[in-house]
Amino acid sequence: MEFYTVSKDPRPVRLSETTRIFAYDSLEHHAYGLAAMKTPAVTMDHIENFTALSPLEQERLILAEIAEKAPTRLIQGERLCGAATLGLAISHVIPATYAGNVVFPSISHLTVDFGCVLTEGLCGIRKRVEASLEAHKGSDREAFLINCMTALDAFETWHGRYVDALEHHADAVARDGVLPPCPAFEVTLQNLRRVPLQPATTFHEAVQSLWMAFAFVRLMGNWPGIGRLDVLLGDYLERDLQNGILTLEEAREILAHFFIKGCEWVRGGDQGSGDAQHYQNIVLGGIDEQGRDVTNTVTYLVLDILEELPIGDFPTTIRVNAHTDEKLLRRVAEVMRHGGGVLAIYNEDLVLKAMTGYGYALDEARRFANDGCWEVQVPGKTNFSYCPFDGLGILQHTTLRDYAEDVDYASFDSLFEAYLRDLGAVVESICRGRLGCFSVMDADNGIYTWHPTLPCTVVSLFEGGCIEKGLSYHEGGPVYHVLSPHIGGLADTVNSLYAIQKLVFDDKRLTFAELMTVLRSNWEGYEPLRQFALNKYAYYGNDNPECDRIAAALLSGFADACARYDGLSPYKFPAGVSTFGRQLEWAPHRLAAPHGRKQGEVLAANASPTPGTDREGATAMIRSYATADLSRMVTGAALDCKLLPSSVAGEDGLNALVSLMRGFVAEGGFFLQPDVADAKILRDAQEHPENYQTLSVRVSGWNARFVTLCREWQDMVIGQNEG
């Protein structure tokens, strides 16, 4: 079998042939994702007067129905069991229908507290629900807590069906060899008799418990992040290795099955933005609440697995700081240079500065992970959402009024001030728009009551605060509530402003009114001037202080606008920078840009330069990006960095990647998404997808198997790599 990467570099072989075949079936043959589509959902049509029931009553019945009716799946040789087997869950909805329609949407952009499953077990969580039920008996919070009990019952029902299936297999083996023995099933059955009902005691139990909790949350349609996998599992493995319970090779096999099973929704074909976009991100490394380095054997096992198997479904971010061990950085570089974009970098020092500067306690900030994409949050305690908008659209359509004939500014400073006012108005509308979530708002006494919303009990079970308060994830349960305005089109906005400054006010090549005429014409008849604007100036991404000061001032003004609305409600309003591929949907609404771009062009991603404008290399790009005080972009500002395979080859290439990561931290970057990609191979994959089923690329906060991107997305990725 062959697994394809962007560079087609050979990968080491450490895992058993059985495990590699299991991966091949999932990744190349799409066996399990296609099987899930055969049973898309359970139906509630048999429930009399279903529509007359309250949403919580409907959810109770749905949870039980899914637990009892979802197909179970056992595969010979797999080291873990449990599977999200209902196809509609892949579409980000609870997989239950009534009269042919989906009943409820589901939840994503969060990392739940899977640690409580490992340390308490479902029995411990049940005790907390029982205590809260007693405390809130007779109140309007009782119904939600009853649903928490129903969700736990559903989890145990689903778990019990796997125990029954494994016991049935064992019985069939015992009856005159009706079935061949399967040692892996025997161990799995032994583990499932303890977990996840009880706390995990061994590494294998912990991985099984974590997988089953993750799979159950996904079975119910939700897309959670995993969080800090080495923190969750590291101590279990260290104890088992010290006590001789298992070997390092056995641990690698067990953990590999976790990653392979996480690809169970791979379906192949054209999936728009890719078939690996389920927000199941992992974070590795960094420090714990006490400031101690958490890097452990699990950290390195994950890197082994990601290097050997081209798994794009678990985008993994490494927390790097000024003191990160060279050994870890080199290992990360070795994996990173295979391509596929699976590894990204947080500058832990900068993230902690951002979070504590914003008001998070240091110990909470040190726990940070992401929301299943890359936006920073305190995992297991945060109701997170973000609101993206096109910064370039504000400049073109509002500040410059679609380049109307009567638009004029006497100076660049007056133009920039007007833009910041318009930007602030957009931020205000985003923040005030969230006030409609509340039926009671008493800011003086800190009393807020959320309007009832659609139930989301399964997620709420694993979010700190929900059980204790008797409130769901969407109704005030979690400790933190975050709505983050995210500016997109940063580079294109900055470049447009810089081009106006140079063309009109500094170089005086034409008047403001004349430039508006040129832009209204979409540069038609002004090609020499367009080429001048495209090529004369050093735009964002080239370490040009004059241009980069505009970016820094723009982001500072944006952060100020967000800060004005903190305290308006229980929601925090931290700033962030992202596009997540929205440059595609924004393109048709964009006009010609002053930096030489024509109407409708697909432009910059996230906080990255406009394609084709970064001419001075990765170091210059990082310096431009980090000129701004990125600690004020509290939920994150992602920089995409495309690298050619030739630039990271050999020992010099490894050293260059390590230096890139060190430099990113030293310069004050926030989040780096490097991807080693060869545009020639991407074009070949576009024409011959059958040869590249596992070729993975970094798209934004997620990875995608390139051949499952639609043509428009593929062209965007190729364009960014050819830029």
Same domain, 239 and 311: yes
Q: Report the side by side order of strands in the sheet with 42-43.
A: 42-43, 96-98, 101-102
More confident of the two residues 55 and 315: 55
Q: What pLDDT is stored for residue 680 in this prediction?
A: 83
Q: Per-residue pLDDT tens for 538-593?
A: 999 999 999 999 999 999 999 999 999 988 889 999 999 998 888 888 999 999 99
Q: Taking all residues of the chain, what is their mean pLDDT, rounded to a whole number?
A: 93
pLDDT of residue 175: 77
Is residue 723 scored above 60 in pLDDT?
no
DSSP 8-state class, residue 398:
I
Residue 170 lies in a domain: yes
Given this model, what pLDDT does residue 443 score? 75
Using omega within 30 degrees of 0 as the cis cutoff, is the peptide bond preceding 609 cis?
no
547 falls within a domain: yes
Is 47 part of any domain? no
b/e map of 152-171 (b: 16 or more CB within 10 Å)?
Answer: bbbbbebbebbbebbeebbe
Do the Cβ atoms of 312 and 700 come closer than 8 Å? no
Q: How many independent structural domains does the chain possess?
A: 3
Count of CB atoms within 10 A of residue 524's CB? Answer: 11
224, 254, 273 - which closes a domain:
224
Tell me what pLDDT residue 512 has. Answer: 98
Q: How far apart are CA 197 and CA 118, in angstroms?
A: 9
My answer on whether 574 and 593 are in the same domain is yes
Residue 183 belongs to domain spanning: 52-90+114-224
d(CA 279, CA 274) in angstroms, rounded, equals 12
How far is residue 469's CA from residue 466's CA, in Å, rounded to a whole number?
5
Q: How many CA atoms lie within 13 A of 250 on its CB side?
A: 12
Mapping DSSP onto H, E and C, the string for 543-601 reads CCHHHHHHHHHHHHHHHHHHHCCCCCCCCECCCEECCCCCHHHHHHHCCCCCCCCCCCC
Supply 243's token pair.
């006590």
Q: Is the pLDDT of residue 1 over 70?
A: no
Burial of residue 328 (CB within 10 Å: 0-12, 13-18, 19+) is: buried
| pLDDT exceeds cutoff 80 at 53 | yes
At 693 the pLDDT is 74
Q: Which are the contacts of 557, defined by CB distance < 8 A and separation ≥ 6?
A: 420, 423, 424
Q: How many Cα atoms within 13 Å fall on the side-chain side of residue 258?
A: 28
In tens, the pLDDT along 188-202 reads 999 999 999 999 999
Residue 170 backbone dihedrals phi, psi, to 5 degrees: -60, -40
pLDDT for residue 351:
98
Select from 458, 313, 308, 302 the least CA-distant residue to 372.
313
Q: Which of 216, 163, 213 shows the shortest CA–CA distance to 193? A: 163
pLDDT in the model for residue 390: 97
d(CA 514, CA 595): 15
Alpha-carbon gap, residue 39 to 433, rounded angstroms: 39
The answer as to whether 468 is a domain residue is yes
pLDDT tens digits for 633-666? Answer: 999 999 999 888 888 999 999 999 999 999 999 9
pTM for this predicted structure:
0.95
Q: Are 142 and 130 within 8 A, CB to CB?
A: no
Q: Are 313 and 278 in contact (CB under 8 A)?
A: yes
If asked whether residues 510 and 618 sit together in one domain, one would say yes
Residue 98, domain member (yes or no): no
Measure CA 434 to chain center: 23
Average pLDDT over residues 96-116: 97
Which structure tokens are listed for 558? 């944006």
Same domain, yes or no, for 396 and 488? yes
In which residue are the tokens 């100020």 written?
560
Give the residue-averaged pLDDT of 113-119: 98
Tens of pLDDT, residue by residue over 508-523, are: 999 999 999 999 999 9
* Cα distance between residue 262 and residue 282, in whole Å: 12
In a domain, 681, yes or no: yes
Structural domain ending residue among the three candidates 613, 634, 655: 634
Same-domain check for residues 603 and 705: no
- Whether residues 169 and 75 fall in one domain: yes
Residue 240 lies in a domain: yes
Residue entry with tokens 């960014």: 720
Residue 538 and residue 440 share a domain: yes
User: Do 557 and 460 reside in the same domain of the chain?
Assistant: yes
The count of other CB atoms within 10 Å of the CB of residue 58 is 21
Q: Is the dihedral of CA 9, 13, 15, 18 positive or negative?
A: positive
175 plus 280 within the same structural domain? no
Identify how many contiguous H helices and E strands the chain contains and give both numbers: 26, 20
* Residues 174, 679: Cα–Cα separation, whole Å: 56
DSSP conformational letter for 93: B
Do 371 and 386 have their domain in common?
no
Query: Do residue 187 and residue 246 come from a single domain?
Result: no
The Cα 557–Cα 540 span in angstroms is 18
239 and 308 assigned to the same domain:
yes
Which of 180-194, 460-474, 570-584 has the highest average model confidence (pLDDT)? 460-474
Q: Helices 297-308 and 229-243, interaxial angle, to 10°? A: 110
Q: Are 377 and 482 in contact (CB under 8 A)?
A: yes
CA 591 and chain centroid, separation: 30
For residue 287, list its beta bridge partners.
293
Token pair 């400790």 is at which residue?
479
Residue 252 tokens read as 């690698």
For the record, the structure tokens of 378 come out as: 């305190």
**Domain boundary, last residue among 224, 243, 276:** 224
Does residue 100 fall inside a structural domain?
A: no
